[in-house]
Amino acid sequence: MRLMKSLFFLLVVVGTISSCKNNYTSNEGSGEKVASINDSTSFTEVQWLDTAKDLGTITEGQKLEVSFRFRNAGNKPLVIERVQPSCGCTVVDPPKEAIAPGKEGEIKGVFDSNGRLGPNHKSLMVYANTKQPRELVFNVIVNKKEGK
């Protein structure tokens, strides 16, 4: 019985700790704190310089680099919390540091065309300290590799 009480207490403590939400995240390497995307007092504005791209035609097996540029048009640091690709064929590399007001940044990605023959419409959902997430899209046609 004592073991069950101890186990129950441990589960409650772990559950409480893991369910707590912190409104701040560490800005890697700087030691400073920046507001998270859940804190409306830290919202800023983004001017997207690219939101949709038509990347033409490539051959299956190629890895295609894609990037989307933006400017922090607000008056608070822009924090890109995460970027979610629509599938595992695209790996993204968002900025790790906050983008200062007036400064520009870029979200980079690599699309792997293996097994992706034909037209491909891919998207990246950007979650940041803005009012709403932003969807970025790119299109590419993948042709069969010669000899296959």
Q: Could you give the domains of the chain?
A: 42-143 (2.60.40.10)
CA dihedral 91, 96, 102, 105 (to 10 degrees): -30
Helical segments of the chain, H only: 2-19
pLDDT of residue 112: 98
Rounded CA Rg of the chain: 21
Pair 90, 110: CB distance under 8 Å: yes
What would the pLDDT profile of 33-46 be if each residue is shown by its tens digit?
Answer: 345 566 678 899 99
Mean pLDDT of 99-126: 97
pTM for the full predicted model: 0.73
What would the pLDDT profile of 59-73 be if each residue is shown by its tens digit?
Answer: 999 999 999 999 999
Pair 58, 113: CB distance under 8 Å: yes
Q: What is the largest CA-CA distance in the chain?
A: 70
